[in-house]
Structure 1
């Protein structure tokens, strides 16, 4: 009855930001009811607690701020980060989402207002991945902001100074990482979120073999994008090695996806060089070429082509004739009617992924994609679009939401006691997600399972990832469970009033306590 009352109140609210605030208040005052509602009405509420509404919430986060959720660590706290973590009231944390707020979705530098992203992600960890909220911690590393509007905002909750960079920044992140391990152990999962390109790749490379860490913008986005592409092959009747990929954008999401596509093509027997030759990138300076004046970023160097320089997307489409075009540039409307028509002329079933978030930044709408390709394209987007009717047929756009990936991967990582997350994990997750796309999904134009099934989808994906951890020797939890699905299902957070993961006992212990014998509750 309380769940239905909550939903009746939400549906009576007209403004999306007001709905967001209603849910935040519910999370603060009745945690179980919040997660129960989110579990039962995931499809309806996920756009509010996460993309696209969370973007608008972050832009106004200081104005909406009522009470802190998560942990803020500032550059002025250097030298005492361990004592700040010690103040966190929960005795055991197994998953952290951390941001420095420099590149929030496609909205840019939002500073401390970016805390809305870790808060939203952690809510999905519990609602979708079944991870007890007590084990999760949102963190914002506040080193300032270069956003002049925020610096002049009298209500801004962050530091009123320009961003700190260089050694001072690096030492603070180092101290944070070390403090997490000292406080909660080597197997604490740390998810990096919305760091700027220059820091995202560098920090991932620096920490990925020393900590249990991944970057969702690089690896999570790559995994969900590649999953959609693999599922698209069921519709197009082709192999991944037959496609040519053009990325509008060459940042974290593009390069992460490109690298994972190469790995997928390598597993199909293609050489690394041939796989990379099928991937073209466009960045802010135009087509990434070998002849470009100035130095090409090392992460893009693998994909630089011997071709004429151009900044005109339509010219580049004519040159490359891609069978798959992927938008991750946050340039609204980049996929024009003319470009979409060209793709349809080049290929019978072109793949069009407009993945930029929020909705206002999408490269094209679902309606534009279907209309200008005569209903022949395979379409997916980063933010949700309503079904489209074209020539009497209804197409259901797939939403390439990272929520299909990170909660399930996190569940497997935490439950299996993993110390290090290899890149291959995200290809395993991508294939597991694509396998769950049904024939009916394909007939409707979907390349992802329906959001209504995301809880079960996440659990089944986690089981496939857990199996890989044990097969490859990365899991430390012993004994190895015979049935990974049932093993993980037994650990899920129960949001009902009379149940909890902490009240499910195995031999007198919590379902999660076996990973940390000293933890009792």
Structure 2
């Protein structure tokens, strides 16, 4: 993030690990909220992790919420971040990094610092939980059940790669939510049968983003690749998913449409 901010107006480049991941996460978020029946302006999002990838994704989510009509302050207030020391707030010590600090909670409910993830979920009642820590399967049954208690069909996105580093397995997430979830991960997971239903895990992979953004930048001869371009790319990916995809639990297009999605981003 430091080098991205330092050089992005000097050179025409982008950081795919940060911006590409943010855009593809935002695409799944857009569709997940659509399936839930909530508008983007209503969304509450919790990030587990506060490193470069998590902060970049949080910026991407904030961008699509602002694109939906929220002002910057309101959009950021609807995104909470949780790191190794607990909920990031303006009163917590140690002070969070510069980028996570933009999402620091102004006033912690109850006036106490929150260090338990399940408790934060019960207080905040998020529609979506994103994991970008690489910490492995640390989301417990209590965490997943807290999500289902506060949202009828929560978005559970363990985005850390490889699958051994994901915050929760697809199997456990399905079992602990009784199948009432929308799941996407950074690595592929095989489909599961649960109570007679075939459930699929969407793969949140920025290969849907960077080819189109790169080609668009080259063809347009732009001098800077802006955040708005990635917001547009996120919507282009999201719009390619059909109602039939939603019925199967897919939040992203199938890989056979990869080239077509790239062309849509360019257009």
Q: In 1, distance between residues paired with 2:198 and 2:95?
A: 47
Offset from partner CA, 1:460-501 (integer Å, 9 cap, x none): 2222xxxxxxxxxxxxxxxxxxxxxxxxxxxxxxxxxxxxxx
TM, length-normalised to structure 2: 0.94
Identify which of 28, 31, 42 aligns with 1:242: 42
TM, length-normalised to structure 1: 0.49
Offset from partner CA, 1:98-120 (integer Å, 9 cap, x none): xxxxxxxxxxxxxxxxxxxxxxx
CA contact (8 A) 2:33 2:43 kept: no
CA contact (8 A) 2:156 2:184 kept: yes
Q: Which has the larger radius of gyration?
A: 1
Identify which of 197, 200, 219 aligns with 1:415: 219
Partner residue in 2 for 1:210 = 10
Written as runs of structure 1 = structure 2, the 5 A alignment for 1:71-150 is none
CA contact (8 A) 1:234 1:442 kept: no
Q: In 2, distance between residues paired with 1:315 and 1:345?
A: 12
CA contact (8 A) 1:281 1:303 kept: yes
Partner residue in 2 for 1:329 = 133
Q: In 1, distance between residues paired with 2:32 and 2:149?
A: 19
Say which SS state the counterpart of residue 209 (structure 1) adopts: coil
Q: Which runs of 5+ in 1 are unaligned?
A: 1-200, 464-521
Deviation at 1:238, TM superposition (A): 1.2
**Is 1:452 matched up with 2:256?**
yes
Offset from partner CA, 1:195-234 (integer Å, 9 cap, x none): xxxxxx1111111011011111221110000000111123
Q: In 1, distance between residues paired with 2:34 and 2:87?
A: 30
Partner residue in 1 for 2:101 = 301
**Is 1:226 matched up with 2:226?**
no
Identify which of 426, 444, 450 aligns with 2:230: 426
Deviation at 1:281, TM superposition (A): 0.4
Say which SS state the counterpart of residue 56 (structure 2) adopts: helix
Q: In 1, distance between residues paired with 2:118 and 2:86?
A: 12
Offset from partner CA, 1:234-258 (integer Å, 9 cap, x none): 3111111112111001112221121
Q: In 2, distance between residues paired with 1:449 and 1:324?
A: 20
Q: In 2, distance between residues paired with 1:342 and 1:299?
A: 27
**Is 1:358 matched up with 2:158?**
no
Q: In 1, distance between residues paired with 2:91 and 2:166?
A: 30
CA contact (8 A) 2:122 2:150 kept: no
Partner residue in 1 for 2:197 = 393
Runs of 4+ deviating beyond 4 Å: none
Say which SS state the counterpart of residue 445 (structure 1) adopts: coil
Partner residue in 1 for 2:74 = 274
Q: In 2, distance between residues paired with 1:372 and 1:296?
A: 32
Q: Which runs of 5+ in 2 are unaligned?
A: none
Q: In 1, distance between residues paired with 2:146 and 2:120?
A: 11
Say which SS state the counterpart of residue 352 (structure 1) adopts: strand
Say which SS state the counterpart of residue 230 (structure 2) adopts: helix
The count of residues paired between Structure 1 and Structure 2 equals: 263
Partner residue in 2 for 1:339 = 143
Say which SS state the counterpart of residue 389 (structure 1) adopts: strand
Q: In 2, distance between residues paired with 1:339 and 1:409?
A: 36
CA contact (8 A) 2:236 2:261 kept: no
Deviation at 1:350, TM superposition (A): 0.8
Report the CA distance shift for 1:315/1:233 in structure 2 as closer, same or farther (over 3 A).
Answer: closer
Say which SS state the counterpart of residue 214 (structure 1) adopts: coil
CA contact (8 A) 1:382 1:400 kept: yes
Structure with bigger RCO (C-alpha 8 Å, 6+ apart): 2
Q: In 1, distance between residues paired with 2:182 and 2:141?
A: 16
CA RMSD of aligned residues (A): 1.4
